Structure 1
Amino acid sequence: MSNVLRLALVDPNDSSREQLKAMLLGMDSIWLEADCSRYEFFPDIVEQTTPDVGVVSLDSNPTSAINLITRITNECPQTALLAASESSDGQQILKAIRAGAREFLTLPLNDQELSEALDRISMAKFGGGSTGSRACEVIAVAGATGGVGSTSTAVNLGCVLAEEPRNSVALVDLDIALGDADVFLDAIPDYTLADVVQNISRLDIQLLKRSLTKHASGLYLLPRPVELHDVAGIDAESLRKVIGLLKASFTHLIVDLSKTYNDLDMVAIEAASRVMLITQLDLPCLRNVVRLMMSFDETEGLQDKVDIIVNRAGLDAGQISLKKAKETLGRDIFALLPNDYRTMVEVRNNGVPLITQAPKAALTQAFRDMATRIGGDHGGQAQDAPEESDAGPANESRWKRFWPGQAKAKS
């Protein structure tokens, strides 16, 4: 697991408390354990949750807030306290520091000031070696259509990444009706995504880890619900909370999407730092890639984090050439996964990953190369993409040329 600071916040002012919460929830190295609107309740919260950090806003009642800092410092010395105030009065700062606050933060906070303060606390708690906190790489794996191999890609990439001891990797099966990531891993989970969502209000990092199924490769799995009626209890907001906690707990989070691109899928895509779009070199798949990329244009920054992965490359029968596909799409191909149908059938039917079933296969090596290119070796840089042809005119015109309805609308 990555080094994550568990934090509790107290601020009787609703407006400033919500601003602080929004800033904290956007930080991968922080898990917001609890927030509180009453000074008198905060000691009980700290005692129950034992956070690494407590943030105390002074402005509603500076005297009560400083007395609170003194009490928590004496009763819960393992919790580092940060005092926060709109005032920069020297006497108030001195009182807060003397009461036991590690840092004094001026409101409204900026990201850099908060990040630097938390980094100092993290350094003191975890040390500054190579085991320090790492931002989580969130990878959403999407298919251009059903049956293109998105689940096999998600599972095998996750297992390859989990081989590296410095990585901690989780896989969420978001095909909540028909997902089968558990089948690929021959796993019989005790808990599913529905169970985690149901208990999200009282979930912490330790409880979350116990809710996941750990595979022999080191990959942690959060599978889709067992019963179809449990699907209704999973909504976009609860999924955001689950992803936030997983981001704070792992160095890599892989989300295997459904093929419907519904609200839940879009939550995962928005949270992702990288979207792997799996396709094959046939007309239906490539047309869907065009449709999806045109839709992704509508969300700022989304198109830039999409990597196109060609699966079953080298399958001669009926395939469009790689050169033609790249020219038509006007985009680079991030990776090629060679066609090895027999091996993949054995892997799926035996419930074991490629690294176990066929460690020397070309397909397995392709997954290792992909992991290296996304930084799975802890900081590796992306190597050159597969051979490219001249991209020619702008992407938009090429996509619309490949989508006849758009071309007609232009004429």
Structure 2
Amino acid sequence: MTNVLRLTLVDPDDDSRSELKSKLLSLDSVWLEADCSRYEFFPEIMEQTTPDVAVITLDSDFDKATRLIERCVSLCPDAVILAASESTDGHLILQAMRAGAREFLTLPLSAEDLTATISRVASQKFGGGEGAARGCEVIACLGATGGVGTTSAAVNLGCILASRPGNTVALIDLDLALGDADVFLDAIPDYTLADMVQNISRLDIQLLKQSLTKHSSGLYLLPRPVELQDTSMVDEGSLRKVVGLMKASFTHLVIDVSKYYSAVDMAAIDMATRILLVTQLDLPCLRNVVRLMMNFEEYEGLQDKVNIVVNRAGLESGQISLKKAKETIGREVFALLPNDYRTMVEVRNNGVPLIKQAPRAPLTQAYVDLADKISAPPPEEAGEEAKKGGESKWIKFFGGSKS
């Protein structure tokens, strides 16, 4: 279970319902399971969807709406009922609350009020202690340039996370034109991201999981479109809807972002809770890291989500030293992945992830360590070892680097 609220809405007024839907769909923390234009049909929708939250507007027929609130409380006692109206009459509000509404929303609803209400409901539903439901960790894997191993990182990290008890993990291949995550997993998917976008209006959690390709490691894959012309179907809004539903279905969502940094890519980066920026220890890559970090300054809080992952560390020739690299980018390194070209070529050509093909290889263990660091709760105070990222354990493998 994840901290995304599944929500249903009933409002007989088309304009009001459309405005409410638009505001709800703009939130990453909710998934709109269904909306309805008739009070009398809503109980059946509640029984079928068993949502976390039901929004019931009162203005079309107050008496019908309050009776509906009572019915919904009886049908779905665990659902939080939110009553909504343009009226601020105290008597009306009291009646709605007595019928079973948990909160009252004044229309037209501001984005700030809606966000605050949803946050309160999520806190009530999920709590904040050890027994609270887990939030979905959305991990965006970026590359400082092409060919640095971003897809390798996304696929192998996803497979390791998926192999662990209690995790449900999905991978979205967002390199819409040339993505090859399916090749790394030797998968022939029936459906792609384009199919999801085309059918987004009728998607639910069950249909979503049936449409994804499941690997033997437990990782679910949503691949890039097959036809190049289908890439235009995927835009920023449709991606947000797909990610919103997937957040309600999985504990971890890994997104293999393309190297174009398009509006679609930036939407994925914005929705991520953690960003892994994959680079190598050469000057073009490190310069791009600096350039990207400077651009990320324009987006509030984005830089704080970025973790630097150095791939192919220990390559014998042409590499800048780790110390010099950290001075250049002005940031600590979160993880080091040792160079093991032979093993990586094998796993890619065989379509088998590292955890299956070479579970004892140092490279595989470095990925296991990376998964551990991602899964571990953040320490209250980062000690010296935490600040050093993954370098202490693997530094012995990285001889021969140059200043």
What's the TM-score, normalizing by structure 1?
0.82
Q: Does 1:367 align with 2:367?
A: yes
Q: CA deviation at 1:104?
A: 3.4
Q: Is the 8 A contact 1:372 1:380 kept in 2?
A: no
Q: For residues 135-154 of structure 1, what are the alpha-carbon distances to aligned partners after superposition, in whole Å with 9 as ceiling and x for unaligned? A: 21111111111111000000
Q: Does 1:352 align with 2:349?
A: no
Uncovered stretches (5+) of structure 1, i.e. residues with no partner: 389-411
Q: Does 1:285 align with 2:285?
A: yes
Q: Is the 8 A contact 1:80 1:102 kept in 2?
A: no
Structure 1 segment 4-403 matched on structure 2, within 5 A: 4-11=4-11, 12=13, 14=15, 18=19, 22=23, 25-26=26-27, 28=29, 30-36=30-36, 39=39, 42-43=42-43, 45-46=45-46, 49-59=49-59, 61-73=61-73, 76-77=75-76, 80=79, 82-85=81-84, 91-93=91-93, 95-97=95-97, 99=99, 101=100, 103-107=102-106, 109=113, 111-120=115-124, 130=131, 132-374=132-374, 376-377=375-376, 379=377, 381=379, 383-386=386-389
Q: CA deviation at 1:47?
A: 5.8
Alpha-carbon separation, structure 2, partners of 1:133 and 1:355: 28
Q: Is the 8 A contact 1:103 1:117 kept in 2?
A: no
> Structure 1's 161 and 33: CA in aligned 2 closer, same or farther, altered over 3 A?
same
Q: Is the 8 A contact 1:88 1:106 kept in 2?
A: no
Q: Is the 8 A contact 1:5 1:122 kept in 2?
A: no
Q: CA deviation at 1:97?
A: 4.9
Q: For residues 7-33 of structure 1, what are the alpha-carbon distances to aligned partners after superposition, in whole Å with 9 as ceiling and x for unaligned? A: 1123448569746863675353x3211
- Over the matched positions of the two proteins, sequence identity in percent amounts to 64
Q: Residue 278 of structure 1 aligns to a residue in which SS?
A: strand
Amino acid of the structure 2 residue aligned with 1:214? K
Alpha-carbon separation, structure 2, partners of 1:268 and 1:27: 11
Amino acid of the structure 2 residue aligned with 1:296? F
Alpha-carbon separation, structure 1, partners of 2:258 and 2:91: 57
> Structure 1's 371 and 46: CA in aligned 2 closer, same or farther, altered over 3 A?
same
Q: Residue in 2 aligned with 1:407?
A: none
What's the TM-score, normalizing by structure 2?
0.83
Amino acid of the structure 1 residue aligned with 2:387? D
Amino acid of the structure 1 residue aligned with 2:203? L
Alpha-carbon separation, structure 2, partners of 1:309 and 1:299: 21
Q: CA deviation at 1:2?
A: 3.3
Amino acid of the structure 2 residue aligned with 1:115? S
| Paired positions, count | 378
Tell me the C-alpha RMSD between the 2 structures: 2.9
Alpha-carbon separation, structure 2, partners of 1:302 and 1:129: 27
Alpha-carbon separation, structure 1, partners of 2:218 and 2:158: 9
Q: CA deviation at 1:115?
A: 3.5
> Structure 1's 242 and 337: CA in aligned 2 closer, same or farther, altered over 3 A?
same
Amino acid of the structure 1 residue aligned with 2:275? V
Q: For residues 73-119 of structure 1, what are the alpha-carbon distances to aligned partners after superposition, in whole Å with 9 as ceiling and x for unaligned? A: 56x446735142466766545533554x2523354646455434455
Amino acid of the structure 2 residue aligned with 1:208? L
